[in-house]
A and B are shown apart, each in its own frame.
Chain A
Amino acid sequence: MNIHKFMMPEIIFGNGSIQQVGESCLRLGATNVLIVSDPGVIAAGWLDVVIQSCKQAGLKYTTFSDITINPKDEEVEKGCRVYMEHECDSIIGVGGGSSIDVAKAIAILATNGGQIQSYEGVDKIHHPLPPQVMVATTAGSGSEVSQFSVIVDTKKQKKMTIISRSLIPDIAIIDPETLVTKSAELTGATGMDVLTHGIEAYVSLAATPLTDVQAKNAISLVAEYLRPSVASKMNREAKTNMAMASLQSGLAFSNAILGAVHAMSHAVGGKYNLLHGDVNSILLPHVMEYNLLANPKKFADIALFLGMDIRGMSHMEAGRRAIEYVKQLTADIGAPQRLSSIGVEEEEMKKMSLMALHDACMITNPRDVTAEDIEEIFRRAW
């Protein structure tokens, strides 16, 4: 591919950058913001910080936090009603993937109207969205820099992926200090998600030199800092670097798209209320094994990024070492390693495989896949 494109929002990174949220909105011309968060964010006290910043900037605001881990269409509609009722003119999303995805989805309905289902797919948004400022408090989702929003269709019991350039927020704020409050489990799960983003983006069919740089950095940072980050809430250096890893992997996958891990993980997530990072970390080594054949050189690169000495190894050999590394990392941080252990039922696999086959993320997977192939991978991971 000779033509590529790389898109990203304005990014504000650094300790205490969350304080900038009010000013950022003001600069975009906001006067009345809807702040979307979730109960976890509120409990951690980040919502208060955002409100404080908005007050200082002299903004009117309304809050909405009726959302679950895998945000649903109904929640989006409810949020949109709040937006309309309070005559808001801009949106802040604070939190992890769910808050930010809901914030984006509300933005869609606010100016485009209708039902969120009608925007599923690529480029279905016709009118510009209101100013969006996203504050990522969970390293991992990458949603704060991406053109994606994933919302559950409650009727069809599946995750809808909405892809549009307009979904790229105007300003993304990444404040590593916000990671301090995360539990070890959540830190581990989101860290594995970041790694998945880096690896899938790196081997993606849509990868470009620009995304490769981001992916490479992200992978290296995870290899170096995920363990210490899980180990201690107080390790500021580890937290800051994991935040950077999250940001860079986000930039990478937002532009290079993902692969089979996410396609399959989306299928699982639609059915079970599980941590996205957990599912990813289980599936990642199995998908890597399957994909190795498609681009041994890139997998060898990954081993290198992970900090391994691959001198004298063939690409295939090096690639296998990378897979082993991933498995080891999962074990080290105590993340789940089998689907069965987190409650996924064998009977669902066929259905989930079909669903995964049609997920948008599957398009950029480096190796061709069939439903059977997916089912086989699921089984190995079970």
Chain B
Amino acid sequence: MNERQQMINLLTGVQSSKKSYYTELKKMVAELKKKNMQLEIINDITKSFNIDMSMDDMLKNTFDKLREIFPIKRISLSLYENDKLTLTNVYPFHSLYFPIGFTLPKERSIYWKVIQSLQKLFYQVQEKEESYVESAVYRELGINSVLLVPLISKGQVIGVLSIGSSEIVRYDEADLSFFQQFGDQLAVCIENARLYREVLVSKKEWEETFRAVSEMILVVDLEGRILRYNDAAKEFFQIGGSPHTRNICELLAIEQNENPIMENVATQKPVYRRFHIQQRICDFHSYPVFNENQSIYAVIIYINDITEKLQIEAQLVQSGKLAAIGEMAAGIAHELNNPLTAILGNAQLLLRSFPKEGRSSTLLSDIYSCGKRCKAIIQNLLTFARQDEYRFADCSINDAVEQVLGLIRDQIQKQNIVIQVNLDHSVEWVEGNLQQIGQIVLNLLINAKDALEEREGAEKVIAIETKTIVEHGSKWVTLSVKDNGIGIDKQHLQEIFNPFFTTKRPGKGTGLGLSVSLGIAQAHGGTIEAISERGKGSEFILKLPAKR
């Protein structure tokens, strides 16, 4: 066809048609769809960080969407860290050639080329060409063209995205700039996810620390509602279910108007209190938490159960006291020993020179036996005062009773108190420290005596009884000290074992006796029970496991 004919065809429009809005619209709709899909993909990536989607899921999601606008077959992600490039994700998974975690060699790697050049790269897979290690992979997977996009976050290259297709895709300017944007967004996302994980790990560390602290920690709002708590608090207060409905006042068993949080709010300062919670003694600290406007929005509560600590303290105090007495007694005993020895020796000599049935002989043997008793008392005092030797040995609870009675019987009887001793001589042995058990007996007797002193009229009696009993299949040795003194108020019965709890006037009672006694009993694997009624009297029963 000559040129003229061609021109004529052009003029008469044999080969052209009026442009149709339908097709134009279709084209525009298709373009819009593509744009929309691209936006959606970018949007998805941005969002997925927030919902903490895994990288695999994210790739799958974007792959499915990309597929609607580009004829792609495989998408893979390799991350660059510490001068190492590692294949981390591939979708679809079956298009896997190198294993996940494969480290790409630096030589002859097109991925490395992208990392080093920081440029997007379009690579057309040639037949039988082996310039890159990846070439074989692509051929194997039936991929004929690949678009490689460097992932750059904050100026640092962090990886490379590979988008493979079985076709030779023609990406136009707009497509390329989309993939750039896609890559940038992905990079931000990966970086964010990494930072997020870091934060999460350290947050977890802190949380675990918080949880593991053996003291109770709670965070409450200004109304005292519990926001957070650690394991110790959970266990102590039996918090479970919906903790937010529970209030700190309820946990502490206090009235709303005693709420220490109110003081925090009022003073903006930490508050310290000591509470008896569930028969335990607890130190309570609450610290206000401020927001950036310096206004208080929550309170951190720190509760420390100091019952044991106090008990030990009490024990120390009492043993300190005893040690002081012991030292003094040892000194006195030493001083008394020599004159006593002289008295005893001389009395013995004199006894021999007097006839046995004479008045003088009777007087002399009185002197001798009294001296002997003095010596025994001194001996007792010396052994009892030696508190530092807490050695456990087989001992009889009866010995402990005898020893203590030897020391204070007279003193008690002087108060017109009748002591009824009823010892079971076949009582089982216990494994323990005689001095410590004696200390319990002493404390119980002194308390009984004090309780009787407060009382008028009637006969004052302290009954001491030892025996062996069987409970829950095992043998126990018990000592009961029973008085008909003033008794104990019901409300106090819970508290008498607490250190420093006393109803006696200052100087007389320190409130340590029972607390220390219980501590010793527990150290021996036993307990002390109190039974009492106001105005009638009390009975304290020491229970120690019998030696097997």
Residue numbers in A under 8 Å from B18 (CB-CB): 7, 128, 165-166, 168
* Pair A4/B19 contact, Cβ less than 8 Å: no
User: Which of A118-126, A225-233, A265-273 contacts the other chain?
Assistant: A118-126
* Pair B11/A129 contact, Cβ less than 8 Å: no
- The answer, yes or no, to whether A5 is at the interface (CB within 8 Å) is yes
- The answer, yes or no, to whether B13 is at the interface (CB within 8 Å) is yes
* Pair B19/A127 contact, Cβ less than 8 Å: yes
The interface on chain A, measured as residues whose beta carbon lies within 8 A of the other chain's beta carbons, has a size of 26
A363 and B24 contact, Cβ closer than 8 Å, known pairs A7-B13, A165-B16: no
Residues 301-330 of B contacting A (Cβ, < 8 Å) = none
Residue numbers in A under 8 Å from B491 (CB-CB): none
- The answer, yes or no, to whether A184 is at the interface (CB within 8 Å) is no
Residues 220-268 of A contacting B (Cβ, < 8 Å) = 255-257
* Pair A123/B19 contact, Cβ less than 8 Å: no
| Bound-state Cα–Cα, A128 to B25, Å | 10
- The answer, yes or no, to whether A147 is at the interface (CB within 8 Å) is yes
**B22: nearest residue on chain A (CB-CB)?**
A128
* Pair A257/B11 contact, Cβ less than 8 Å: yes
Residue numbers in A under 8 Å from B242 (CB-CB): none
Residue numbers in A under 8 Å from B8 (CB-CB): 1, 205-206, 257, 363-364
| Bound-state Cα–Cα, A255 to B19, Å | 17
* Pair A257/B24 contact, Cβ less than 8 Å: no
**B371: min CB distance to chain A, Å:** 132
Residues 1-50 of B contacting A (Cβ, < 8 Å) = 4-5, 7-8, 10-14, 16-21, 24
Residue numbers in A under 8 Å from B21 (CB-CB): 128
* Pair B10/A257 contact, Cβ less than 8 Å: no
- The answer, yes or no, to whether A163 is at the interface (CB within 8 Å) is yes
**A160: min CB distance to chain B, Å:** 15
The interface on chain B, measured as residues whose beta carbon lies within 8 A of the other chain's beta carbons, has a size of 16
* Pair A4/B12 contact, Cβ less than 8 Å: yes
| Bound-state Cα–Cα, A1 to B7, Å | 13
- The answer, yes or no, to whether A360 is at the interface (CB within 8 Å) is yes
* Pair A363/B19 contact, Cβ less than 8 Å: no
CB within 8 A of A364: which of B11, B14, B16, B17? B11
* Pair A147/B14 contact, Cβ less than 8 Å: no
A123 and B12 contact, Cβ closer than 8 Å, known pairs A128-B21, A128-B24, A363-B4: no
| Bound-state Cα–Cα, A122 to B6, Å | 12
**A304: min CB distance to chain B, Å:** 25
* Pair A257/B19 contact, Cβ less than 8 Å: no
Residue numbers in A under 8 Å from B16 (CB-CB): 123, 164-165
- The answer, yes or no, to whether A43 is at the interface (CB within 8 Å) is no
Residue numbers in B under 8 Å from A363 (CB-CB): 4, 7-8, 11
* Pair B10/A5 contact, Cβ less than 8 Å: no
| Bound-state Cα–Cα, A166 to B20, Å | 9
* Pair B24/A127 contact, Cβ less than 8 Å: yes
**A199: min CB distance to chain B, Å:** 18
**A148: min CB distance to chain B, Å:** 10
* Pair A360/B20 contact, Cβ less than 8 Å: no
| Bound-state Cα–Cα, A122 to B15, Å | 11
* Pair A123/B10 contact, Cβ less than 8 Å: yes
A165 and B13 contact, Cβ closer than 8 Å, known pairs A129-B19, A205-B8, A363-B8: yes
- Render A125-141 as a binary contact track against B, CB cut-off 8 A, 1 for contact: 11111000000000000
* Pair B11/A163 contact, Cβ less than 8 Å: yes
| Bound-state Cα–Cα, A3 to B5, Å | 12
Residue numbers in B under 8 Å from A147 (CB-CB): 13
| Bound-state Cα–Cα, A163 to B20, Å | 17
A5 and B12 contact, Cβ closer than 8 Å, known pairs A363-B4, A363-B7: yes
A255 and B12 contact, Cβ closer than 8 Å, known pairs A129-B19, A363-B4: yes
- Render A1-40 as a binary contact track against B, CB cut-off 8 A, 1 for contact: 1011101000000000000000000000000000000000
Residue numbers in A under 8 Å from B24 (CB-CB): 127-128
**A128: nearest residue on chain B (CB-CB)?**
B19
Residue numbers in B under 8 Å from A364 (CB-CB): 8, 11
| Bound-state Cα–Cα, A112 to B455, Å | 117
Residue numbers in A under 8 Å from B11 (CB-CB): 122, 163, 206, 257, 360, 363-364
| Bound-state Cα–Cα, A255 to B17, Å | 13
Residue numbers in A under 8 Å from B7 (CB-CB): 122, 363
| Bound-state Cα–Cα, A209 to B293, Å | 91
**A147: nearest residue on chain B (CB-CB)?**
B13
Residue numbers in B under 8 Å from A360 (CB-CB): 11
| Bound-state Cα–Cα, A3 to B14, Å | 8
Q: Name which of A4, A7, A129, A206 has the most chain B CB atoms within 10 A of its CB.
A: A206
CB within 8 A of B13: which of A1, A5, A126? A5
Residue numbers in A under 8 Å from B13 (CB-CB): 5, 7, 123, 147, 163, 165
| Bound-state Cα–Cα, A168 to B14, Å | 15
| Bound-state Cα–Cα, A164 to B8, Å | 13
A5 and B19 contact, Cβ closer than 8 Å, known pairs A127-B24, A206-B8: no
| Bound-state Cα–Cα, A176 to B40, Å | 58
**B351: min CB distance to chain A, Å:** 142
Residue numbers in A under 8 Å from B5 (CB-CB): 1
* Pair A256/B12 contact, Cβ less than 8 Å: yes
**B441: min CB distance to chain A, Å:** 109
Residue numbers in A under 8 Å from B14 (CB-CB): 3-5
**B28: nearest residue on chain A (CB-CB)?**
A127
**B276: min CB distance to chain A, Å:** 83
Residue numbers in A under 8 Å from B20 (CB-CB): 128
A-B pairs with lowest CB-CB distance, top 8: A128-B19, A165-B18, A122-B10, A363-B7, A128-B21, A166-B19, A206-B12, A206-B8
5 sampled A-B residue pairs with Cβ under 8 A = A1-B8, A4-B12, A5-B13, A257-B12, A363-B8
* Given A122-B10, A257-B8, 15 more pairs with CB closer than 8 A: A4-B14, A5-B14, A126-B19, A127-B24, A128-B18, A128-B20, A163-B11, A165-B13, A206-B12, A257-B11, A257-B12, A363-B4, A363-B8, A364-B8, A364-B11
Chain B interface (Cβ < 8 Å from any Cβ of A): 4-5, 7-8, 10-14, 16-21, 24
